[in-house]
Amino acid sequence: MKVALWGCGGHASVVFETIRAEGKHEVVAFVDDHKSGLYLARPIFKISALPRDIGAVIIATGDEAIRDKLATMVTGDGRMLGTTIHPSAVIAQGVTVGEGSVVFAGAVLQPGASIGRNCIINTCASVDHDCIVEDGAQLAPRVALGGRALVGSRSFVGIGSAIINGVRVGANCVIGAGSVVVKNIPDNSHAYGVPARVVRKGEAT
């Protein structure tokens, strides 16, 4: 399938490499309403000018709020959200990965795990049995979720963090790098540390 990537930065280059390795899609264009020219030898279009024969777009930016907004624009334009999973990722039988999500090299998704729509499961992240990662959430590289943990919609879990078994991180949260989350984190919170403590409340950015 011909796909376009919305974004022209470092994250987009990792998505591009994931698609290349997977071998199921062909990246023929990039989308950026503020840039023009070429990126990775592919043309950059505004979304309004993207050729109609490109039926799927993968959001290739790391910011949760922006990714959510762009996904709505893509589907509103009558296009599909594309999904890509690196062939080195270990995906247990029965795991669900929602449309628009990307799973990078070395990630592990164990039985019963559920990954929502438009999520990022980053390099070498580990999602254990029966975990739920809700729509628009991102797990940074080497994040580890214990069994039955939950990460709420549009939340970001920073690099190297761990969330123990059964703990819930609410929606629109930011968990700082290297944190260990041992109790539930309420919606709209910023938390970090070992153990992680809420340091600020307010919508995640």
Active-site annotation, residues: 129
Place of tokens 């039955």: 148
* Residue 152: Cβ-neighbour burial (10 angstroms; 0-12, 13-18, 19+): buried
CA distance 199 to 86: 35
Tell me phi and psi for residue 77, to 5 degrees: -85, 5
